[in-house]
Structure 1
Amino acid sequence: MLQVLACGAVVFPGLFFAFRKILPCVFKHWSDADVVLVSERLVSSLHALMATTVGVIVASSCRENVINDRHWLATYFIIWYGVPYMTYDIFAMYLSHYHRFRVKGHEDYKQHSLRTVKTFVRRDFLLVLHHIALLTILLPVTLFHRKDQGDFFIGCLFLTELSTPFVSLGKIFIQLSLQESWLHKANGGMVILTFFLFRIALFPYMYWVYGRHYGIPLYSVPFHLPLSTNLGNVCILAPQVYWFVLLLRKGLRLYRRSRMPDSCPAAADNPKAD
């Protein structure tokens, strides 16, 4: 088991290190912040593709009996790759934060310190909390408190990662100065679509599947589940709704900005128009 756990602990930092060495050779004008950001996004996308593939396998294998059907990947993917990735990603996010502010010339970022860590946690509090909650709450529930039930729903939760490659690709397009291209705009549409379907609509779908299994209507499902299950789902869903609202606002701003030159040229020259 330790060898398998070490596999995930080696794969993600190893890929991150490899990208940090390769990217500067290809994009020689990139700063350290650029390289770290894109490296983090590439590793994040690879993990998301792995998680999504596992989610499809588990959910499709357990659809006959969504409560009692089992698949070994539902548990072992979390141990092998989920825990190492979440642990690595907190560190990678901190490095991205550190190099971004160091390139900007902030005095506090000449070297790593407790102050830079505190600033990172304060600025990205929700993301850090999300990662820690997955490690300290979802992991124990998955491994010890499910009573060998619900692999189908674990597979569905893996599918929430499907939007991650599109989010990462959007950051990479910006890094490549392609933010005005049709590729970036199309990718933005995919971000909103996949985020809504697999990070928000997925939860009522799981409640509906649970209700269908027991022959109860959707509105009765929350009263049929333990309070801890409902609270856990709310804790996972709440930040997704918040991030989705931010995505919609950003998309609306970009849409309005793209329409300005055509519909109102004078407004485009007004710095307060946005």
Structure 2
Amino acid sequence: MLLTLAGGSLFFPGLFALCTWALRRSRPEWTYSDCVMISTRLVSSVQAVLATGSGIIIVRSCSDVINSRYNLKKGFQDFQGPYTIFSFYAFNLSTYHKVKPQASDSYNPGSLRSIKLKLLHYSISLSLHGLSLLPFSMAPVRIFLLRLRGNLGDFFVGCIFTAELSTPFVSLGRILIQLKQQHTLLYKVNGILTLATFLSCRILLFPFMYWSYGQQQGLSLLQVPFHIPFFCNVANAFLIAPQIYWFYLLCRKAVRLFDTPQAK
């Protein structure tokens, strides 16, 4: 466990530093802010690819959705744990560099106050998000949660890992916006892929898990919610509710993208 945690602690910050250095060398016309924000997106995409790949392997290897165990799950959780701490730092850093130029170029006290409030809002939001996820990156808490579920359900943990499939496409969209490439065909194709992967791996994932459990227990999809513990349904509802809202926002953005002509 300690060796895996150390590997994750070195891998994600090291990859971020390497990407930032490489972008500064290969694109000297880009600002440090551009390099930091793109590097943050690249590292989050790499983490998403690793999580998705691990999730697919775990799901395919678990013949029993309740009792099957797979060692890759625990190893990847230990390796991924430091990423939570790193992402908390990296996204705060990229947000700071995003808002800082607006503050330095603004001479209107009212506008400057608005920018400072925006920076404070971003910092508080990211801090609360990071603090809420931080306990799950700590080994003692994860061991407690593992024992709480009785060392069962590696199949469902693997399913949750695959929810990261949409992250690389979301990150690519952000990078294209930063590079002023919203008018390109790549941006539109990436938008379609973002919607497809988000729908399949963040929303339809939950009916798939219910269906998989029902297939093993001889239940229909509609019968499953009444044959599992109530807190499981509540937890899934809390997880899927923000996904539906974010998917709604993505659909609104896609409608605007394809309905309004793009400026050159």
The bucket for the TM-score relative to the shorter chain is: 0.7 to 0.9
Q: Structure 2 residue aligned with 1:258, among 257, 261, 264? A: 261
2:12 maps to what in 1?
12
Provide closer, same or farther for how the CA distance between residues 228 and 76 of structure 1 changes in structure 2, counting only shifts above 3 A: farther
**After TM superposition, which residue ranges in structure 1, 4 or more long, deviate above 6 angstroms?**
none
| Contact in 2 for aligned 1:211/1:217 (Cα 8 Å) | yes
Whether the aligned pair in 2 keeps the contact of 1:94 and 1:117 (CA below 8 Å) is: no
- Contact in 1 for aligned 2:88/2:126 (Cα 8 Å): no
How far apart are the structure 2 equivalents of 1:260 and 1:16? 33
Name the counterpart of 1:156: 159
* 1:224 alignment partner in structure 2: 227
Which SS does the other structure have where 1:258 is aligned?
coil
Secondary structure in 2 aligned to 1:178?
coil
Are residues 76 and 194 of structure 1, via their aligned partners in 2, closer, same or farther at CA, if it must alter by over 3 Å?
same
Does structure 2 conserve the Cα–Cα contact (< 8 Å) formed by 1:40 and 1:92? yes
- Secondary structure in structure 1 of the residue aligned to 2:66: coil
| Matching residue of 2:82 | 84
1:269 alignment counterpart? none
The residue aligned with 1:73 is 72
TM-score norm. by structure 1 comes to 0.83
CA distance in 2, matches of 1:167, 1:231: 28
Q: Distance in 1 between matches of 2:132 and 2:198?
A: 16
Q: Which of 119, 122, 128 pairs up with 1:120?
A: 122
- Partner in structure 1 of residue 149 of structure 2: 146
- The separation in 1 between residues aligned to 2:262 and 2:59, in whole angstroms, is 42
Summarize the Cα distance change of 1:140–1:100 in structure 2 as closer, same or farther, 3 Å threshold.
farther
Alpha carbons of structure 1 residues 50 and 174: separation in structure 2 relative to 1, 3 Å: same
- Deviation, structure 1 residue 225: 1.8
Rounded Cα–Cα distance in structure 1 between residues aligned with 2:17 and 2:101:
20
- SS state at 1:166 partner: helix
Identify if the C-alpha distance between structure 1 residues 142 and 182 changes in structure 2 by more than 3 Å, giving closer, same or farther.
farther
1:18, CA displacement in angstroms?
Answer: 1.3
Residue 127 of structure 1: how far off its partner (Å): 5.3
Q: Is the partner of 2:28 in helix, strand or coil? A: coil
% same residue: 41
* Aligned-partner Cα distance in 2 for 1:220–1:187: 37
Letter in 2 for 1:159: T
What is the CA-CA distance between 1:198 and the residue it aligns to? 0.2
1:247 aligns with 2:250: yes
Partner SS for 1:219: coil
The alpha-carbon distance between structure 1 residues 224 and 117, as it changes in their structure 2 partners (threshold 3 A), is farther
> Offset at 1:17?
1.2
Look up the equivalent residue of 2:171 and give its one-letter code: S
Deviation (angstroms), 1:32:
2.4
User: 1:176 aligns to what?
Assistant: 179
Instruction: Judge which range, 226-235 or 43-52, deviates more.
Output: 226-235
Q: Which piece of structure 1 moves more, 115-124 or 159-168?
A: 115-124
Name stretches of at least 5 consecutive residues in structure 1 with no aligned partner.
108-114, 262-274
Whole-Å separation in 1 of the counterparts to 2:223 and 2:236? 16
Cα deviation for residue 243 of structure 1 reads 1.1
